[in-house]
């Protein structure tokens, strides 16, 4: 039997210093303070410890031998324990395994879905290196585990300590994430912050044919990133019942991803059939990923006879090492009034994610009460802050806008391409949060119990930024790097008391926030030995800030039933109903943050500003909603070695909205059969299906009257939002999955087989009142009450592994995996012909339509 001896925290810190140079760590999911991911594995072995899965001698249950099932009837897995050997003549034992081998990949090895989270490489691989030391007398232990498929796909984990006294964990891992394997960006400098056009293309003066040729000539690239994570955690007894713990985790993400690059109005005015000859461009670019996130956790807890105390500090610090993305536009910017442009807009600019910090301190206190009761109190304060240096509003040179005529609007870039054009040099963004939670529960008898919970949460947005240029005395921000204002008169994004006095543009950030008060009351009742009920009522009062509603109230009622009266089966069922209502809905609560609220604003043509949106719009989180849910779980044991289980569930949300999200539905089923006749054999079969439905409605505005009489009317059916412009869509999706797993140890040979299948089908139906609802000329060919082509995704994976010993300490494992799949998304149709349509450049062809890949390998296992 292990004896537990306390250890001074100073010695614990000293051990942490000595272990910092070791590789990284292992551990279980029950630890108080964890670092890293809960699961360590890879494409070769998702479980991360399959070669060590030899059944131990403890029997079926971790609790005591002979207990085959959980109280609900599910089978306990056989506990696994690697064979141990004595280390010298003391109390220490050890175990270890080294798995080395060779992997070969054949077929469509660059298929996106095959490579999505695994960096498969041909060649040698470290399947697993595991080593453990255990002292059954003192409770001391040291464990190490690692695997490496490639330089971007590996993990190492170290865990050491003494049970009940202290523990140390550390880890390191690389996780690949492939976004696309069929990208053809036309720009040079992919992965950097400045994308330039190749030779043969001139910024602002390239033909569509030339850009199409540049796209065909571009080399194929893979777009993706690698997450590198490392961490260290400590936990130990400080004094008697006081325990301290600390952890730090650092994650770096490096790579690329697909990104936007608008140059305004390309869809509205194509180069063919338009008097304006095309405009700007919609450009799919590639942005760099170079992030670092550091998470820190510190804690102190005490577990006494009556009182329990816990204090936790959490900090997260995000750093983006690249602050902008500049890209060159190959196409000419023309305008809608036939006047010459003041200058060419050849560059675009994005400001990338800013550095930000997060701090949270949480205190928890609880104590036992009479009648098997407990009182729990929790309070927390958090703050999120971002004060990154701001970039200049534009990166152009020369002049923007129109060069002459009645719409002449010259905008010198020198007045806007400098940080002197900003009202503040940094963001000064801050959001504070506060939480108070009080819970009270009593179980005066074995048949009855109740609990009450009162929770208050506040999110206070203290960010206040006014977009004002002290060089020009103008408010607002140059939109689309000047391209929008060089296409349409007046739509530059700025306001002043002169030419732009009729511009209604956003001039300040909207400090969204909310206060939320939640009360919950629940009752537990054991009606009989075989039937128990739980009823929970929840009232949630939310007060949003600067939103369409100032008050939202939701009442929720949930009834649960657990029954063992159906023979050996266990039935769990629950139904839930919620009703959300609120105060008056203001379709446009944002006027204070637009230039219409400033002195000197003059409505165009003497009328009110064009309506912000239709007054019938209801945002889904602000709308009245009725929600219902149901779930049934049935578990039935078959003899002593088999179990059948099934889950049925469904939910429905009905929104009170003529415009916006109207309803959603989800129904699903999962079924599973498990069989464990002995420690040497186990098998399982599972199947699942889910169907989801979403209905959404909207109305297109009447562009012909924007800025004229009637455009101030927000009503549905009015001149700006006529009923003939009304449309809706129905999004339906069906998902299926199935799998079979079998494993058997024949004594000298172990066989593992597995098959997994996934299928997703989606269909988008649409209907519209008239062609006036369509905003793009090509859309006139659509048929009312029709649908877009179906999308589908299918993937099937079969795996097999055969292991056998060569000597007592050496074994061989042969394995193979065959994966096939198909993919079709109508958004990508036509991309096999060209990635350039009119003034629109796309970079990614989409996932491979059909693929099949085979992975085979051989591993040599050496017991250490």
439-492 confidence digits (pLDDT tens): 999 999 989 999 999 999 999 999 999 999 999 999 999 999 998 888 888 889
- The verdict on 562 and 621 lying in the same domain is no
First to last CA, the chain: 26
Mean pLDDT (whole number) for 831-842: 91
- Among the ranges given (149-153, 434-438, 620-624, 757-761), the one the predictor scored with the smallest mean pLDDT: 149-153
Confidence of residue 619 (pLDDT cuts 50, 70, 90): very high
Residue 736 has pLDDT above 90, yes or no: yes
Residue 644's domain comprises 615-700+722-864
User: 18: exposed, middle or buried (C-beta count within 10 Å: 0-12, 13-18, 19+)?
Assistant: exposed
Q: Side-chain half-sphere of 324: how many Cα atoms within 13 Å?
A: 15
- The verdict on 563 and 634 lying in the same domain is no
Mean pLDDT (whole number) for 102-115: 94
- The answer to whether residues 624 and 581 touch, using CB atoms and an 8 Å cutoff, is yes
- The verdict on 799 and 739 lying in the same domain is yes
- Assigned domain for 371 exists: no
- The verdict on 691 and 832 lying in the same domain is yes
- The verdict on 551 and 621 lying in the same domain is no
Q: What is the sign of the dihedral through the CA atoms of 8, 9, 10 and 14?
A: positive
Smallest CA-to-CA distance from 559 within 527, 531, 528, 523 is with 523
Burial 671-692 (b: 16+ CB within 10 A, else e): bbbbbbeebeebbbbbbbebbb
Residue 14 has pLDDT above 50, yes or no: no
C-alpha to C-alpha distance for 410 and 357, rounded to whole angstroms: 41
Three-state secondary structure call for residue 530: coil
- Residue 185 CA: distances (Å) to CA of 122, 210, 836: 27, 14, 11
- Assigned domain for 441 exists: yes
- Among the ranges given (46-50, 522-526, 844-848), the one the predictor scored with the smallest mean pLDDT: 46-50
Residue 27 has pLDDT above 80, yes or no: no
- Assigned domain for 222 exists: no
- Assigned domain for 642 exists: yes
User: 712: which DSSP letter?
Assistant: T
Q: Which residues pair with 540 in a beta bridge?
A: 518, 554
The model scores a pTM over 0.75 = yes
Instruction: Count CB-CB contacts under 10 A for residue 3.
Output: 11
- The verdict on 658 and 567 lying in the same domain is no
Residue 647 has pLDDT above 90, yes or no: yes
Which of the two residues, 84 and 470, has the higher pLDDT score?
470
C-alpha to C-alpha distance for 331 and 342, rounded to whole angstroms: 16
Residue 58 has pLDDT above 90, yes or no: no
Choose the final residue of a domain: 576, 600, 625.
Answer: 576
- The verdict on 440 and 538 lying in the same domain is yes
What is the pLDDT, as a whole number, of residue 710? 85
Instruction: Count CB-CB contacts under 10 A for residue 117.
Output: 14
* Chain mean pLDDT for the chain: 89
Mean pLDDT (whole number) for 225-240: 92
- The verdict on 798 and 726 lying in the same domain is yes
- Assigned domain for 551 exists: yes
- Among the ranges given (213-217, 268-272, 603-607), the one the predictor scored with the smallest mean pLDDT: 268-272
Instruction: Count CB-CB contacts under 10 A for residue 261.
Output: 24
- The verdict on 798 and 672 lying in the same domain is yes
Smallest CA-to-CA distance from 146 within 156, 160, 154, 159 is with 156
Smallest CA-to-CA distance from 47 within 172, 145, 114 is with 145
Choose the final residue of a domain: 522, 557, 576.
Answer: 576
- Assigned domain for 418 exists: no
- Residue 604 CA: distances (Å) to CA of 18, 21, 706, 777: 73, 69, 10, 28
C-alpha to C-alpha distance for 592 and 675, rounded to whole angstroms: 65
Q: What is the sign of the dihedral through the CA atoms of 204, 210, 212 and 215?
A: negative
- Assigned domain for 757 exists: yes
C-alpha to C-alpha distance for 259 and 264, rounded to whole angstroms: 16
C-alpha to C-alpha distance for 573 and 133, rounded to whole angstroms: 46
- The verdict on 549 and 695 lying in the same domain is no
What is the pLDDT, as a whole number, of residue 68? 73
Residue 64 has pLDDT above 70, yes or no: no
Choose the final residue of a domain: 576, 604, 625.
Answer: 576
Strands 617-618 and 659-678: parallel
Helix (H) or strand (E) holding 863, with range, is strand 850-863
- The verdict on 543 and 674 lying in the same domain is no
* Structural domains of the chain, count: 2
What is the pLDDT, as a whole number, of residue 45? 87
Mean pLDDT (whole number) for 222-240: 93
What is the pLDDT, as a whole number, of residue 65? 59
Residue 771 has pLDDT above 90, yes or no: no
Helix (H) or strand (E) holding 114, with range, is helix 112-115
- Among the ranges given (417-431, 606-620, 629-643), the one the predictor scored with the smallest mean pLDDT: 606-620
Residue 9 has pLDDT above 70, yes or no: no
- Quote the percentage of the chain above a pLDDT of 90: 70
- The verdict on 443 and 526 lying in the same domain is yes
C-alpha to C-alpha distance for 28 and 62, rounded to whole angstroms: 15
Phi, psi of 210 (to 5 degrees): -65, -40
């Amino acid at each position: 039997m292990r004896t537990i001896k306390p250890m001074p925290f100073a010695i614990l810190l000293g051990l942490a210093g000595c272990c910092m140079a070791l590789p990284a760590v292992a551990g279980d999911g029950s630890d108080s303070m964890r670092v890293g991911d809960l699961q360590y594995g890879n494409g070769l072995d998702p479980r991360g410890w399959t070669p060590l899965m030899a059944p131990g001698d403890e029997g079926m249950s971790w609790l005591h031998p002979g207990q085959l099932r959980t109280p609900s009837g599910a089978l306990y897995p056989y506990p696994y324990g690697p064979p141990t050997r004595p280390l010298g003549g003391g109390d220490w034992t050890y175990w270890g395994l080294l798995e080395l081998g060779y992997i070969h990949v054949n077929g469509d090895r660059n298929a996106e879905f095959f490579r999505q989270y695994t960096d498969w490489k041909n060649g040698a691989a470290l399947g697993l290196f595991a080593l453990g030391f255990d002292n059954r007398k003192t409770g001391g232990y040291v464990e190490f585990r690692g695997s490496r498929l490639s330089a971007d796909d590996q993990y190492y984990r170290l865990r050491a300590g003494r049970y009940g006294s202290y523990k140390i964990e550390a880890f390191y891992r690389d996780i690949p994430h492939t976004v696309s394997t069929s990208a053809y960006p036309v720009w040079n400098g992919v992965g950097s912050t400045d994308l330039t056009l190749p030779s043969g293309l001139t910024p602002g003066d390239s033909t569509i044919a030339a850009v199409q040729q540049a796209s065909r000539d571009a080399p194929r690239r893979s777009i993706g990133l690698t997450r590198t994570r490392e961490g260290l955690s400590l936990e130990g007894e400080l004094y008697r019942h006081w325990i301290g713990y600390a952890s730090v985790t650092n994650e770096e993400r490096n790579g690329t991803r697909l990104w936007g690059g608008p140059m305004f109005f390309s869809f509205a005015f194509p180069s063919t059939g338009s008097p304006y000859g095309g405009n700007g461009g919609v450009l799919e670019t590639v942005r760099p990923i170079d992030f670092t996130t550091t998470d820190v956790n510190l804690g102190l807890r005490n577990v006494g006879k009556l009182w329990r105390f816990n204090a936790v500090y959490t900090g997260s610090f995000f750093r983006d090492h690249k602050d902008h993305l500049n890209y060159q536009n190959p196409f000419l910017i023309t305008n809608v009034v036939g006047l010459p442009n003041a200058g060419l807009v050849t560059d675009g600019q994005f400001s990338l994610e800013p550095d930000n910090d997060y701090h949270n301190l949480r205190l928890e206190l609880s104590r036992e009460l009479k009648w098997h009761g407990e009182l729990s109190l929790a309070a927390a304060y958090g703050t999120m802050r971002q004060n990154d240096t701001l970039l200049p509003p534009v990166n152009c040179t020369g002049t923007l806008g129109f060069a002459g005529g009645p719409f002449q609007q010259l905008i010198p870039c020198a007045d806007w391409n400098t940080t002197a054009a900003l009202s503040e040099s940094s963001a000064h963004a801050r959001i504070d949060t506060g939480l108070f939670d009080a819970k009270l529960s009593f179980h005066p008898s074995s048949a009855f119990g109740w609990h009450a919970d009162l929770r208050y949460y506040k999110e206070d947005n203290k960010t206040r930024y006014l977009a004002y240029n002290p060089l020009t005395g103008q408010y607002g921000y140059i939109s689309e790097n000047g391209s929008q204002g060089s296409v349409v008169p007046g739509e530059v994004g700025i306001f002043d008391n002169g030419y732009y006095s009729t511009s209604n543009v956003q001039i300040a950030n909207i400090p969204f926030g909310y206060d939320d008060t939640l009360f919950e009351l629940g009752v537990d009742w054991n009606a009989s030995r075989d039937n128990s009920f739980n009823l929970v009522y929840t009232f949630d009062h939310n007060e949003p800030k600067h939103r369409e509603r100032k008050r939202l109230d939701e009442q929720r009622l949930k009834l649960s039933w657990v029954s063992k009266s159906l023979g050996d089966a266990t039935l769990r069922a629950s139904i839930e109903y919620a009703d959300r209502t609120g105060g008056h809905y203001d379709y446009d609560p944002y006027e204070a943050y637009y230039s219409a609220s400033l002195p000197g604003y003059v409505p165009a043509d003497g009328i009110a500003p064009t309506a912000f949106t239709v007054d019938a719009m209801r945002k889904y989180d602000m709308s009245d909603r009725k929600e219902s849910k149901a779930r049934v779980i049935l578990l039935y044991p078959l003899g002593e070695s088999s179990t059948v289980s099934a889950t049925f569930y469904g939910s429905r949300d009905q929104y009170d909205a003529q415009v916006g999200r109207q309803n959603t539905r989800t129904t699903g089923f999962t079924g599973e059969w498990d069989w464990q006749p002995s420690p040497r054999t186990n098998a399982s079969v599972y199947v699942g299906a889910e169907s989801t439905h979403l209905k959404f409605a909207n109305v297109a505005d009447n562009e012909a009257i924007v800025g004229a009489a009637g455009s101030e009317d927000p009503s549905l059916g009015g001149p700006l939002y006529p009923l003939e412009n009304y449309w809706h869509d129905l999004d339906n999706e069906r998902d299926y999955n199935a799998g079979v797993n079998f494993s058997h140890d024949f004594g000298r040979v172990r066989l593992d087989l597995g098959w997994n299948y996934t299928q997703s089908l989606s269909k988008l139906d649409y209907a519209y009142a008239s062609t006036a609802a369509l905003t793009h000329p090509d859309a006139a060919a659509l048929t009312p009450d029709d649908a877009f082509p179906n999308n589908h995704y299918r993937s099937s994976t079969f795996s097999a592994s055969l292991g056998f010993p060569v000597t007592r300490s050496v074994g061989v494992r042969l394995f193979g995996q065959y994966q096939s799949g198909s993919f079709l998304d109508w958004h990508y149709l036509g991309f096999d012909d060209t990635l350039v349509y009119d003034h629109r450049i796309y970079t990614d062809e989409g996932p491979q339509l059909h693929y099949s890949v085979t992975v085979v390998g051989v591993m040599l296992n050496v017991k250490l």
